[in-house]
Amino acid sequence: MDTAEWIDWFNNQRLHTAIGDIPPHEHETNHYAQHQSQPAAGVNA
């Protein structure tokens, strides 16, 4: 159980200085949200 709690903290809660002092999970969410909002090249909506 301790290992699972540490993994949750490491992936979702710790602040990572290399990505702007935000948790890795938040950075990943922001990254995918930014890329999903852009239409694919050559696609007419």
* Rounded Cα–Cα distance for residues 24 and 3 (Å): 18
* pTM (predicted TM-score): 0.60
pLDDT in the model for residue 11:
84
Query: Nearest to residue 26, comparing CAs of 38, 44, 41, 14?
Result: 14
pLDDT in the model for residue 41:
65
Give per-residue pLDDT as tens, 21-39: 999 889 999 999 988 766 6
Give me the residue label for tokens 């709690």.
5
The CA-atom distances, in angstroms, between 35 and each of 1, 21, 23, 30, 44 are 35, 21, 19, 9, 17
* Rounded Cα–Cα distance for residues 28 and 20 (Å): 12
